[in-house]
Amino acid sequence: MIRTVLALAALVPLSCASVQAAPVDARASYVVTVGGINVAMVDIDLDDDGARYGLELSARVAGLGSVVASGTASASVSGSSAGSNLQSRSFALETRANGEVFTSSVGYDGRNVSAFQVQPPVQDNYDRVPLERAHLTGVGDFLSAFVLKGNGLDRSLCDRTLKIFTGVERFNIRLGFLDSDEATSPRTGYQGPLVACSIDYQPISGHFQSSEMTNYLADTSRMILWYAPLGQTGYFIPYRVIIGTTMGDLSMVLTRAES
């Protein structure tokens, strides 16, 4: 479940206007549910001084019987924000569940992977799609890949393909415009206009061909995210993300936003 929550968080973009007038110090909190039952809380912090940025993600999974294991996850990234797109330079991930600790770190030189390490190492076997050097060029980490610079709350936020390397897996996320929408629930962290985007997950390498999660995400057509503006900062953050599953919707919803 830790990996599932991180996969969902990886589908959660933060995007900003092409001209940033002032440094940004913002945070957002989300609740993750499965079939309407709360299973995790996710916090995301963003700092950007106009030249460099930092992102921090933390997740606390409460567990759900034998279906969801309890644990924690954290991820951080830093890099350059001076161009039209964020460019990560270092990425780190740690998950803890069932007494096991997994870590991943990736370094980037421009859009190319310069080094990466995971502990414990992922065991290669006949079922794992091999990573190729060509797959590690023109990519970003899974947090910065979704910090998108755009021109406003419109379809341009959705019309793009994101190329991501986590230290273990290489995949693409293709976003597509669905519709304009409106958030009205007073129980969430935002009410106002939204843009809805479809999500198409495309595994490239590093994954196991027998992975139920990978195959499900690649085959399902019901993955949607909604963007909302983050106050007057010129940034846009996810209001909601939905992935349909056999246990009910896996959903992440904005509960608090500060800027």
256 or 247, higher pLDDT: 256
220 or 4, higher pLDDT: 220
Q: Above 70 in pLDDT, residue 1? A: no
Q: Above 50 in pLDDT, residue 15? A: no
Query: Looking at residues 194-202, what average pLDDT do you find?
Result: 94
Question: What is the per-residue pLDDT for 184?
Answer: 93
Mean pLDDT, rounded, of the chain:
85
Contact criterion met (CB below 8 Å) for 149 and 15: yes
Provide the β-strand partners of residue 48: 24, 53
Q: Residues 39-67: pLDDT tens digits? A: 889 999 989 898 899 999 999 987 655 45
pLDDT > 70: what percent of the chain?
86
Query: Looking at residues 233-251, what average pLDDT do you find?
Result: 84
What residue numbers bound the domain in which 173 lies? Answer: 2-258
Question: Which has the closest alpha carbon to 1: 83, 74, 78, 97?
Answer: 97
Indicate the pTM of the whole model: 0.85
Query: Looking at residues 182-205, what average pLDDT do you find?
Result: 93
| 3-state class (DSSP) for residue 46 | strand
Q: Above 70 in pLDDT, residue 22? A: no
Quote the tokens at residue 39. Answer: 């299973």
Question: What is the per-residue pLDDT for 66?
Answer: 47
Question: What is the per-residue pLDDT for 68?
Answer: 58
Contacts of 121 (CB under 8 A, 6+ apart): none
Q: At what angle do helices 2-10 and 212-219 cross, to 10 degrees?
A: 30
| Number of domains observed in the structure of the chain | 1
